[in-house]
Amino acid sequence: LAKTTQPISMDSYEGQEVNITCSHNNIATNDYITWYQQFPSQGPRFIIQGYKTKVTNEVASLFIPADRKSSTLSLPRVSLSDTAVYYCLVERYGGSQGNLIFGKGTKLSVKP
Amino acid sequence: GAGVSQTPSNKVTEKGKYVELRCDPISGHTALYWYRQSLGQGPEFLIYFQGTGAADDSGLPNDRFFAVRPEGSVSTLKIQRTERGDSAVYLCASSLTSPGNTNNSPLHFGNGTRLTVT
């Protein structure tokens, strides 16, 4: 599976929009992108998943350009409770999804 | 509904001892996963069950680690002769994915068992 690269940390303030970009240069045709969020002392929690263009749910938006070599997780109007680590993963359609590679993630700190 | 439950939430053991960590997945989820997370790192894959069988155990670090899921529901991760380097948070997750599905379902994680080997 394609390796992902994302910033180690980001800082933001309450009410701002936060965009976290993930690189996955070697993504394959049958791969898709998934983002997880992890709060301290909790397991990761699924946020959003997409293959191309734009996906939006009640939590976030995911933007994937045509070449799919990167993706951007967008969190609108963050609050203090959005402080967490965000992981970008590449998964394969129909593959054994057990061996997901999380990496170190991006530690987002939201300040008042 | 109830999420993935892991017990105990914390476990302190002495070097050389044997430990068992339990995972109760979400009812009806056929797939179950164990991951290990060290401080400041992302979760690392250990083993994946589809039903009762281990579909992929390539992440188990050595033969001191073993996991079972005898009835396709609850799973136990067993660690023999624990070492200080085994100290970490052990995460369990489950999902609805069945073999042959083209769209993988998200993983639902428990809050983990924090294992400390002294």
Domain residue extents for chain B: 5-117
Average pLDDT, chain A: 93
State pLDDT tens for residues A83-109. Answer: 999 999 998 876 655 678 898 999 999
Contact list in B for residue A100 (CB cut-off 8 A) is: 43, 45, 107
Q: Taking CB atoms and an 8 Å cutoff, what residues of chain B touch A96?
A: 48, 55-56
pLDDT in tens, A5-25: 999 999 999 999 999 999 999
Measured between CA atoms, the residue of chain B closest to residue A97 is: B104
For A8-12, B72-76, B103-107, which range has the lowest pLDDT when averaged over its residues?
A: B103-107
CB neighbour burial string for B66-92, b if at least 16 within 10 angstroms, e if fewer: ebebeeebebebebeebeeebbbbbbb
Q: In terms of CATH architecture, what is A9-111?
A: Sandwich (2.60)
Structure tokens at A39: 């709060």
Please state, in angstroms and as integers, the Cα–Cα distance from residue A12 to each residue in A5, A8, A56, B85, B112, following that order: 20, 14, 21, 35, 28
Q: How far apart are CA A20 and CA A9, in angstroms?
A: 10
Tell me the CATH number for domain B5-117: 2.60.40.10
Domains in chain A: boundaries: 9-111
Chain B touched by A49 (CB under 8 Å) = yes
Q: Which two tokens stand for residue A93?
A: 């359609």
Secondary structure of residue B40 in the 3-state scheme: coil
The residue type of B50 is Q
pLDDT value of residue B99? 46
- Kindly state whether B9 is in contact with chain A, defined as any CB-CB distance less than 8 angstroms: no
Q: What's at B33, amino acid-wise? A: Y
Among B91, B94, B97, B104, most A C-beta atoms within 10 A, so best to mutate, is B104
